[in-house]
Structure 1
Amino acid sequence: MQRRKFITRAAIGSAAAGTLAAPALAQGQHPEIRWRLASSYPKTLDTIYGAVDLAVKRVAELTDGRFKISLHAAGELVPPLQVLDAVMDGTVEAGHSASYFYIGRDPAFGFGTAMPFGLNTRGQNAWLYEGGGNDLLNEFYAGFGLYHLPIGNTGAQMAGWYRKEIKTVEDLKGLKFRIGGLGGMVLSKLGVVPQQLAAGDLYPSLEKGVIDAAEFVGPYDDEKLGLHKVAKFYYYPGWWEGSATLPLFINQKAWASLPPMYQAAVKAAAAEANQWSTAKYDIGNPAALKRLVSGGAQLRAFPKAVMDASFTAAGQLYTELAEKSPAFKKIHAHWAKFRDEQLLWQQFCEQPFDTYMASTRRRS
């Protein structure tokens, strides 16, 4: 498993440092390097942002403080939705963002974070780490001068906060909805007017009626953003993000210039942060959901007709995008086959187990 390889390499490097550190450093074999990393997210989102904070601290530890990365929250160095541009042009060496913010460049950017009706968290990590997904993404990102690593996964997301109930497909028409990535393109086929806004703009936009609904992640983060104060209907599931990977984008020239030991440290730290973030959300979301519901949030499931219409629209969109983007066509073919195989397996293990366990709670 790739993660074990990273950790093993880091452990070997650490053991070697105990006996060879002084002469090696004296000879300049491990230089002091300073990078800047710009995030699209504020510090208040302590799981999305916190995963990267954990990673940069771990890199410093693994390199005996000789490779330090300073982490900067949304807006400190560049606007939240311009992080990718800053990495590409070398303004910063690395960036933390959602890849689907940049589908205007090429729809294939969507695969790096989340695809409508896509993989769950286990499937996404399996695809990235062992299924060839990360290799395909890096082949694509190389055309933009980028190197990519997963550095966080939110797990399955909620579908967001709405001022009015969604009872039929007709209720979606004209809805001004903050939603990022390809999910917005799917919903636009059903009459939704998608809006792409940074996290800090969601509350004021919803409060002032600039938008009618907003989705972000799930209870833990949504509570921090205060969305429940300005819209009471809380829908699920967020079919556009059955899981969502937050990528670490690295300028390709900066990455190539790193000593192999430092590259290994970054890979190990990112893999640890990716696992940590999912666990952190699984701890925080249950309690936050209880608080939100006790405070007046109205949980609603999307009607099956809405789910079915959305699924059909997603399939239509994927066909259209494959005709326009060779990169999308190539990655989608690989991704879709992997998704179907995962669904085949999960219907005999995870799904029936989870469904049964949920039924026991309702009976108790």
Structure 2
Amino acid sequence: MDRRSFLKTTAAGGAAATATSLAAPVYAQGKQTLTMVTSWGRGLAGVHDTAQFIADRIGEVSDGSLTVDLKAAGELVGAFDVFDAVSSGQADMYHSADYYFLGQHPGLAFFCQIPFGMNFMEYTNWWEHDGGRVMGEELYSIFGLKAFPAGNTGPQPGGWFNKEINAPEDFQGLKFRMPGQGGEVLGKLGVSVQNLPGSEVYQALSSGAIDGTDWIGPWADEKAGFQEVAKFYYTAGFQEPGPNINLNVNREMFDALSPAHQAIIENVARSANLWGMSLFTANNAAALQRLQSGGTQLREFPAPVWDAFGEASKDVVEQYMEDDLYKSIYDSYMKSMASSAQWSASAGGAYEAQRNRVMDL
């Protein structure tokens, strides 16, 4: 299958190929204002905070010569419309998780998260030093975009349920919110998968429109109130061990910026990547304790369920290998992950196990 075949029926593909004029950045007294759209409702813990960090820091570092007008989900375009908006030039940049847009090209999964994929440090290594940036340039340029890693949540839990999961068969018939290839895995286990923006998940869960959901982690989940409407919290999941969140900018707009402003955007995105990741890490442990004290029942999936996740994940991740670009990205990603994992197991994994034992952590 030709890699561009995924574009033929997508609005973004057509817009990227045919747009002849883009919305130019706003100029006022020598200053430029860029419009950023996001997939996050205003106030969504961690993810909106990271987008706001980016907007604020670009203004600060540029001494006000480059400012960002942040539009949260629904304020200019919908949560799942940001890709099209920036690809077509309706907005200048977006902050989102690109597994929301796999209909544009399935290879986007690698630049957010695949099941049983990379953690934060592994992804950072792949992007910065081991071929990921080159692969990203090839894919995103098709859509007139330029991608910058700009946030990460760290490992995400398995999700919230109103019944216990003791065997793979317990997923049959559940209505569950999970985006990306992780959702495709659950679909293979008999789940009716829902892909909802974060701001709509609480209402769907409380009304019974869905039976369970994943989200981000204890801190963000507590802020969203899921403990009020779900009983069981599975603290480890297969689907998102380190999802990357991108700041994607319209390539034509970016190329027209001064080199100094280009460097500011790239370096602010890089700082947001670490800042966002550490924000979740700093808050998750205490939030998990509060959830447990408040009556949330913590669970872990049993081994047969993990095995079912693994088998279905291989099928999902490998189903697009006939697409040349997807296969190239897959090969680069897997080679890098294997190398990082080997070193981590040899050094970091052994050290952390012994440290936690010796220090009673």
Is residue 336 from structure 1 mapped to residue 334 from structure 2 by the alignment? yes
Does the CA contact (< 8 Å) of 1:147 and 1:249 recur in 2? yes
Match among 310, 323, 326 for residue 324 of structure 2: 326
Shift of 1:31: 4.4
* Corresponding residue SS for 2:260: helix
Is residue 36 from structure 1 mapped to residue 30 from structure 2 by the alignment? no
Q: Distance in 2 between matches of 1:62 and 1:204?
A: 39
Q: Which residue is equivalent to 2:93?
A: 94
Q: Distance in 2 between matches of 1:222 and 1:46?
A: 8
TM-score by length of 2: 0.89
Task: Tell me which amino acid in the other structure corresponds to 2:252.
Answer: K
* Corresponding residue SS for 1:70: strand
* Corresponding residue SS for 1:216: coil
Q: Which residue is equivalent to 1:316?
A: 315
Write out aligned runs for 1:90-239 (5 A): 90-239=89-238
Distance 1:334-1:360 versus aligned 2 partners, 3 A rule: same
Shift of 1:91: 1.0
Q: Distance in 1 between matches of 2:350 and 2:312?
A: 27
- How many residues are treated as equivalent by the alignment? 334
Q: Distance in 1 between matches of 2:328 and 2:33?
A: 36
Q: Which residue is equivalent to 1:15?
A: none
Structure 1 unaligned runs (5+)? 1-27
Q: Which residue is equivalent to 1:347?
A: 345
Structure 2 unaligned runs (5+)? 1-26
Q: Which residue is equivalent to 1:284?
A: 283
Does the CA contact (< 8 Å) of 1:36 and 1:93 recur in 2? yes
Q: Which residue is equivalent to 2:18?
A: none
Does the CA contact (< 8 Å) of 2:44 and 2:199 recur in 1? no
* Corresponding residue SS for 1:347: helix
Does the CA contact (< 8 Å) of 2:87 and 2:144 recur in 1? yes
TM-score by length of 1: 0.88
Q: Which residue is equivalent to 1:48?
A: 47
Q: Which residue is equivalent to 2:77?
A: 78
Does the CA contact (< 8 Å) of 2:181 and 2:317 recur in 1? no
Q: Which residue is equivalent to 1:307?
A: 306
Task: Tell me which amino acid in the other structure corresponds to 1:90.
Answer: G
- What is the RMSD computed on CA atoms of the aligned residues? 1.7
Q: Percent identity?
A: 35
* Corresponding residue SS for 1:42: coil
Shift of 1:345: 1.1
Shift of 1:360: 5.5
Shift of 1:352: 2.3
